[in-house]
Amino acid sequence: MVLKFTYALVMACFFASSCWGGTITGTVSLFGKTKKHAAVHLVGIKAPVEVPEEHGVIVQKGQRYIPRVLPVVKGTTVDFPNNDTVFHNAFSLTPGNSFDFGTYGPGKNPGALFNAAVPTDIFCNMHEQMQGLVLVLEHPYFDLTSKQGTYTLKNVPEGTYAIKAWINPTLSEEKSVNVGAGETVNIDFDLSK
């Protein structure tokens, strides 16, 4: 009984801090230009989160995955619509999130469930240049940058965190950020360093 009460109290405090949390904003750039579709997220934390009903989407277009990096909450289904005029095959060998759709044509839209909180590499066995990454996270503090390269993480509980920006596994940067309740903090990333 005491354990249940303690858990309820901790959760109430967490949600209260989330309601009064801070905001982290900024831009991601590469070689002096702001970067669309960069993933930005807090690192190494777990927080209660509701799995969204809306699916994540990685489009196959021009024999590329768009976006190349997609952050999602653990338990999210990600769709892989083929918007090309050629056949594709999306698959992953990452333990816990492995799948293989087989070869499928234009207009098809298969989806995979991502239940393991690990970075998951995505490939196409028909086009070796097609590589993507689904960042499966255990918290809601992430965003994908806009056309202007901007991102916003809202309702971040007060504290000090590591925050990371990705374009792909070799173009990423991690920084430290301290955010207070009701505070807005700006953290910019230059991934060309």
Domains contained in the chain, CATH given: 1-48+141-193 (2.60.40.10), 50-137 (2.60.40.420)
Q: What is the dihedral of CA 65, 66, 70, 72, to 10 degrees?
A: -100
* Cis bond before residue 67 (omega within 30° of 0): yes
Task: Note down pLDDT in tens along the chain; length 193 residues.
Answer: 444 443 444 444 444 444 579 999 999 999 999 999 999 999 989 998 899 899 999 999 999 999 999 999 999 999 999 999 999 999 999 999 999 999 999 999 999 999 999 999 999 988 888 999 999 999 999 999 999 999 999 999 999 999 999 988 788 999 999 999 999 999 999 998 7
Q: What is the pTM of this model?
A: 0.84
